[in-house]
Chain A
Amino acid sequence: MRTRKSALSFVAALLILAMVAVGCTPKPESGNSGSTNNGTTNGETSGESTAGKVFRMNIHSEPSTLDPALMEDNVSGTLATGIYEGLTRKNENGESIPATAESWVKSDDGLTYTFTIRKDAKWSNGDPVTANDFEFSWKRALDPATGSTYAYQFYYIVGAQDYNEGKTTNADAVGIKALDAQTLEVKLNSPTPYFLSLTSFYVYNPVHSSVKDNEAWAADAASIIGNGPFKMSEWQHNTSIKLAKNDNYYDKDQVKFTGVDFTMISDSATELANYETDKLDYTGKPTGEIPSEQIPVLRESKKDEFVTKGIASSYYYQFNTEEVPFNNVKVRKALAMAIDREAIVESVTMAGEVPSFGFVPPGIIGLKEDYRNEVKDDFFTENVDEAKTLLAEGLAELKLSKFPKVTLTFNTSDGHKKIAEAIVEMWRQNLGIEVGIENQEFAVLLKNRTAMNYQISRAGWGADYNDPMTYMDMFVTNGGQNNTGFASPEYDALIKKANTSGDQAERIAAMTEAEKILMDYMPIMPIYYYSNTYMLKPGFKNIFLDYKGDIDYTRGYYQAN
């Protein structure tokens, strides 16, 4: 009797739980609160009345800031694309096109740019966007008190570095000047052909002058005033951000979405599940991720939605050239030549990466077209026999009887680990050498790399602006990024030449020469050029990734097929 009663209550409890689970769910998600008319109807019914009006994507995690001056990651950058607009923006080919500036004039010596701000440019609160706003914003980014980590992106401008480093407190000495409300004059230290490309970079975005009265303005949706196609409508920290169309935007007729919803889901399987249950219109890079093991399956099963796009980023290993055995160029070359890059991208990474035999990735503009098309990356080849010979010669030169014990370090990640394991195995089979692998937490790895406390280290680099220089100036002697020990006066001279010349042909020639020297000396071993994989629901048009893989959704629209 007693037992039956308990058993009954147990079953009853289970039933109640099940009822809770089932009972409240099948209605359409009317409770999906939000100021914008968000929401596809439930599951399978495709009577999409509101679908496609709001674009929904995942940004993985909370943006560290929405203050352009302080931005440094692509999550913030993705939001900046909607909320703010610089003097220029990028089209699908990576070219700078007029945005808040309707036109500009470059002086003959290439040192002065004069931008004309369009008259109808407005902030989301209706105030006009003026040249003074740009002068204020850029100088604010340079002000040491702002604490901008990317302030050095302004160092091409006269006086910018001195002001940022506190050598002078006189902001007037910086070559940024509003001549009148519509005219912005910028003076450069040397002709910088890619300066225009920088003006669409997020640190160059303007901020409303009222921000100086509210230090924490960028931490809440209500206090953020932008000048982009969208404006902030809701920010639930660590959870979601909603943008609504900005009716004060000068080009609002071209903006078709009524809003953009961003979720902050950090688990890639969950992101995919949301895409598959129609809660997201977009999944994958740059701010999300498709689980790597799903990529080969989805590429086949979702042919119409799956996209692979090469982006201007390089994945490589770097050597510590100050230590045995990598102080010998033949040893470095042997290792670079003894791996099978095709196998790595085909069976390890599997996301459409491209094997690399140079440093500058495709997507970067050269003289007329893609630099990588103009200058082929055939600086070296894979050749196991030659690698063996080189290794033997190198070890003999070092007076070593056998290859010493070395370690390859990479920052903790499943992907990096698989690649490291594959490469170490290739070295073992092809060269008969043993290389240990060790994962280090990212900050630890960076610290060790800066201190030259490593032997081989994984590294990656994405473009900051659309010019080969964003890669080539990394390896100047004692450069902040050059922690390989590589030092070549010849290389330095070529970079300097490219940096001071206003003639693009001369610059490209100098950088081509420099890349050749870099690959001859081989302080770094190229592995592949990155690509981004993503999926986009059918019907969405004009949403694209630019040359460096940043997403532009501002002119996207939905058209049912």
Chain B
Amino acid sequence: MIKYVSKKFLSMFVSLFVLASATFFLMKIIPGDPFIREKAIPEKIREHLFAMYGLDQPMWKQYLMYLNNLLHGDLGMSMKQQYMSVTRIIKESFIYSAQIGLFAVIVSLAAGLILGIIAALNHRKWLDSVTIIIAVLGVSIPNFLAASILQYVFGSKLRWLSVSGLNDPTDFILPVLALSFLPAAFIARLTRSTMLEVLSADYIKTARSKGLSGRIILVRHALRNAILPVVTYIGPMTANIITGSVVVEQIFGIGGIGKYFVQSITNRDYTLIMGLTLFYGIILMAARFVTDVAYGFVDPRIKMTRGGGKG
């Protein structure tokens, strides 16, 4: 286990280094800089600003400086938001994204699993068809549309909920629902298909013939096996959802981290671009790591001691 974990960590570290380096140079290749304006800044002032942010140094020097700061845990100051450190921007905006994101993960897991199981148990019956329709709709309706419809119906027309903001606990409902549609539908389909496969497997038939009750078969044998692909999906899904959705955050006016992914590039806010990329990388890797560990619990056949991961 320790060997496995340390090996994982080493590879994560290497991946992060590659990610940081690649992003650094790619970002510098994009034309423009943080101090380009429609109202051009006089040359002298520009030169001075470049010097202030170390942008006047040769590229390799900037790169080494950046890596050095990174090793000291310093992501630098934003070049656009004055006096705001990248760490602070990430911290303050991630709180919102993580909150609605985690709720959305829970909702989509619950809804997806329930729908999937119902569909599988009612294979080819009307309940199955209904859930399939719901799932197909969920997958095919883009989240900006879902968000807009929810906002229009419950916010503007019925006025049950605020159209935007996160001032009240109930304000979470609409953005969480909007974020959950797609993953819930995806999980439902995944669960349904693997459940169907599992339910027709020999060992289920064996269990049934042994006279085990339906519920025990469902929970202990069928679901446990059927959930494996879902577990694989949960990791990246969680990473994706909690790092914010540009669209959903924009529509519901939530000050989350999502919009910075686009904004930082538009602003050529170099330090923020780097910070966000690394942050996203870390979250994603952490999620995968947790997924790998979770495998071990769900499926005892997968052993981590041999350092392989997937058995």
Q: Which A positions have Cβ atoms within 8 angstroms of B? A: 1-3, 6-7, 9-10, 13, 20-22, 24-26, 29, 31-33, 42-43, 61-62, 64-65, 67, 70, 72, 144-145, 147-149, 151-152, 164-166, 215-219, 236-240, 263-267, 269-270, 273-274, 276-277, 279, 441-444, 446-448, 450, 459-461, 464, 480-481
Contact = CB atoms under 8 A, between A and B. Distances in A.
B284 interface: no
Given A152-B42, A459-B38, A270 B92 contact: no
A147 B218 contact: no
A442 B38 CA distance: 9
Contact of B42 (A147, A450, A480): A480
B289 interface: no
B62 interface: no
A2 B111 contact: no
B37 A446 contact: yes
A219 B82 contact: yes
Contacts of A62: 81, 255
Given A239-B254, A264-B253, A273-B155, 13 more contacts: A22-B160, A31-B167, A65-B81, A147-B48, A238-B256, A240-B165, A263-B253, A265-B164, A269-B251, A443-B268, A444-B30, A447-B36, A481-B39
B121 A6 contact: yes
Contacts of B169: 24, 31
Interface size bracket, B side: 35 or more
Contacts of B32: 441, 443-444, 446-447
A313 to B, nearest CB: 11
Interface of B: 30-33, 35-45, 48-49, 52, 80-84, 89, 92-93, 96, 110-111, 114-115, 117-118, 121-122, 127, 148, 151-152, 154-156, 159-170, 173, 214-215, 218, 250-256, 259, 263, 266, 268
Contact of A219 (B36, B84, B162, B254): B84
A274 B152 CA distance: 11
Most chain B CB inside 10 Å of its own CB: which residue of A70, A273, A447 = A273
A216 B82 CA distance: 8
Contacts of A218: 82-83
Nearest to B80: A64
B31 A443 contact: yes
Contact of A151 (B45, B163, B214): B45
A267 B83 contact: no
The 10 closest A-B pairs by CB, nearest first: A443-B32, A238-B255, A65-B82, A239-B255, A265-B253, A273-B163, A216-B83, A219-B83, A480-B40, A31-B168
Given A166-B48, A270-B252, A443-B32, A263 B156 contact: no
Contacts of A442: 38, 266
B114 A13 contact: yes
Most chain B CB inside 10 Å of its own CB: which residue of A1, A3, A42 = A3
Contacts, number: 183
A266 B259 contact: yes
Contacts of A42: 159
B29 to A, nearest CB: 12
B151 A2 contact: no
11 contacts: A2-B214, A3-B118, A21-B160, A29-B162, A67-B82, A72-B37, A218-B83, A273-B155, A444-B31, A447-B32, A459-B38
B52 A147 contact: yes
A238 B114 contact: no
A144 B84 CA distance: 20
B266 A10 contact: no
Contacts of A61: 263
A240 B127 CA distance: 45
B234 to A, nearest CB: 19
A270 B82 contact: no
A70 B251 CA distance: 30
A460 B37 CA distance: 12
A554 to B, nearest CB: 24
Contact of B215 (A2, A217, A263, A461): A2
A165 B161 CA distance: 54
Contact of B163 (A64, A145, A270, A447): A270
Given A13-B114, A21-B154, A441-B266, A264 B44 contact: no
A270 B266 contact: no
Contact of B114 (A10, A67, A459): A10
Contact of A7 (B43, B96, B110, B118): B118
A43 to B, nearest CB: 5
Given A10-B118, A266-B259, A446-B36, A165 B44 contact: yes
Given A13-B110, A72-B37, A2 B121 contact: yes
A151 B35 CA distance: 14
A38 to B, nearest CB: 10
Given A2-B218, A446-B36, A7 B127 contact: yes
A25 B154 CA distance: 11
B151 A270 contact: yes
Given A65-B82, A270-B253, A147 B161 contact: no
Contacts of A166: 44, 48
A161 to B, nearest CB: 8
Contacts of B263: 61
A446 B250 contact: no
B149 to A, nearest CB: 12
B146 to A, nearest CB: 14
Given A3-B127, A274-B163, A448-B31, A20 B173 contact: yes
Contacts of B160: 21-22, 25-26
B266 A443 contact: yes
A408 B117 CA distance: 56
A263 B255 CA distance: 10
Contacts of B37: 72, 149, 446
Contacts of B253: 263-267, 270, 274
A235 to B, nearest CB: 11
A237 B92 contact: yes
Contacts of A269: 148, 251
B163 A279 contact: yes
Contacts of A145: 52
Contacts of A266: 250, 253, 259
A20 B33 CA distance: 48
